[in-house]
Amino acid sequence: MTPAKDCTAKTARSADPGVVAANPADFVGRCVKVRGFWRDFGFYPTHAEAGQPDALSVSFLDTRRLGLYLSDADLARAPTGPSSATAFGTVGVCADLGDPAKLTGYCGFKHGAYLAVVGIQIAK
């Protein structure tokens, strides 16, 4: 999952992560900036959602969570607990990528929205 080449911090448009996750078709291919909570390779609108046990896999968060495709460096520093963060990148939908058995990362086990991340920063 590669972000669009023209997706930068300057060109990203603010969007609510919960709205993007619930309506991914409205955002596919768009460069967005989301504020919420980062945990592992998921991004959530609220601290409570990010703090759920097994937050990446529970189905009731499928329309609230964005899967993240991160650089190796960002993946290595991904927090294991909810952390307030801002991310920007290009939106996609896992189901549009084909057979999940042939995919890696988030889309290998979920069919919802993902963000091909250009940049992500934990709030100070």
Q: Is the pLDDT of residue 16 over 90?
A: yes
**Per-residue pLDDT tens digits for 39-66:** 999 999 999 999 999 998 899 999 999 9
The per-residue DSSP string of 32-73 comes to: EEEEEEEETTEEESSHHHHTSTTTTT-GGGTTT-EEEE--HH
Rounded Cα distance between 106 and 122, Å, is: 20
φ/ψ of residue 67, rounded to 5: -75, 145
CATH of domain 13-122: 2.40.50
Residue 103: pLDDT band (50, 70, 90) is confident
Going from the C-alpha of 37 to that of each of 19, 90, 102, the distances in angstroms are 14, 18, 28
